[in-house]
Amino acid sequence: MVKIKRLKLGRKRAVGRSLGKVTTRHKGGGEKRLWRPIDFERGKRGITAKVEAIEYDPNRSAKIARILFTDGERRYILLPEKLEVGAKVLSAVDAPAKVGNALPLEKIPVGTEVHNVELVPGKGGQLVRTAGSAAIVSAFEGKWTHLTMPSGEVRRIPAQSWATVGRLEGGERKLRRIGKAGTKRHMGVRPTVRGVAQNPSSHPHGGGEGRSGIGMSTPKTPWGKPAVGKTRKRFHTDKYIVQKRKRKNE
């Protein structure tokens, strides 16, 4: 009998505590989870695989597909829409641009929806991995590919970076109604107390007489830092942004 490599591993979760003390608010408890390693690199090139099963993964928003390669190896990949059990997927430079296949961005036609996009060629997919999300290949510029991100931002990505064709399933996830507080506790989310309901020693919004607002100050975090407005930090990858995302008030 052929021994199958385990696809689910034990994992010790950080539940918002260090040395027994709360270090991250609103996190703790929750159901025990097994870790399922995902093949973000799609590094098994030129070998066809069949979708064996579709599974739920408690560690991410999108569902995952268990694929079986012709050489007998099994792996997990993110599940795009319209990929069903029994379908064939391929990761190759000359693979057709159909749902579930992985190939370099330079080989994908303009207007195609993609996910699990590499920022650095060979590092594995880092962008567009949330349920229901997809980026669109919008243009080619020399050694760069222009991608329209789910936020509307247009970004330059190396043309040699790999991506998987299709939109990730789970777009209806945002319509889910939690229903009760206990469900949130099962998800590992602890209660949140509004800043204005706390003491002034506990939060910048605290104190005051009766039901008071946040006062004259701008909204802040419990540590006194601005929480509303342009709070995004600058990253070294900002130079690859061709067009910034549109904000709600613009």
CATH number of the domain encompassing residue 105: 2.30.30.30
Burial level of 16, CB count in 10 A (0-12/13-18/19+)? middle
Dump strand ranges (E) for 149-203: 154-158, 162-165
The answer to whether residues 132 and 212 belong to one domain is no
Q: What is the pTM of this model?
A: 0.86
**Range from 48-62, 107-121, 156-170, 225-239 carrying the lowest mean pLDDT:** 225-239
**Residue 96 lies inside a defined structural domain of this protein:** yes
Whether 32 maps to a domain, the answer reads yes
Based on the fold, state whether residues 232 and 147 are members of the same structural domain: no
Calculate mean pLDDT across residues 175-198: 94
State mean pLDDT over 214-242: 84
Kindly state whether residue 178 falls inside one of the protein's structural domains.
no
135, 105 Cβ separation under 8 angstroms:
no
> Which regions of 82-230 does DSSP assign to beta strands (E)?
88-89, 102-104, 113-115, 117-118, 125-127, 135-141, 144-148, 154-158, 162-165
> What average pLDDT does this structure show over 40-68?
95
d(CA 204, CA 198) in angstroms, rounded, equals 9
pLDDT class of 250 with cuts at 50, 70, 90: low
Which of 118, 140, 171 delimits the end of a domain? 171
pLDDT of residue 224: 87
38 plus 158 within the same structural domain:
yes
pLDDT score recorded for residue 248: 64
18-24 average pLDDT score: 89
Q: Give the per-residue pLDDT at 1.
A: 39
Rounded-to-integer distance, Cα 213 and Cα 165, Å: 48
Structure tokens at 173: 């996830």
Average pLDDT of 203-214? 88
> Is residue 70 domain-resident?
yes
- Statement: residue 123 has pLDDT above 50: yes
The arithmetic mean of pLDDT across residues 141-168, rounded, is 95
What is the pLDDT averaged over residues 90-104?
96
**β-bridge mates for residue 49, sequence order:** 69, 89
Could you tell me what percent of the chain has a pLDDT over 90?
70
Domain that holds residue 248: 193-250
Length of the chain: 250
- Would you state the pLDDT for residue 235? 83
Both 237 and 160 in one domain: the answer is no
The whole-number pLDDT of residue 249 equals: 58
Q: Is the pLDDT of residue 5 over 80?
A: no
In this predicted structure, what is the pLDDT of residue 93? Answer: 95
**Residues 185, 26: Cα–Cα separation, whole Å:** 10
Whether residue 208 sits in one domain with residue 139: no
Question: How would you label 175-213 residue by residue, b for 16+ Cβ within 10 Å and e otherwise?
Answer: eeeeeeeeebeeebbbeeeebbeeeeeebbbbeeeeeee
Q: Tell me how many domains the chain contains.
A: 2
Instruction: Output the pLDDT for position 76.
Output: 96
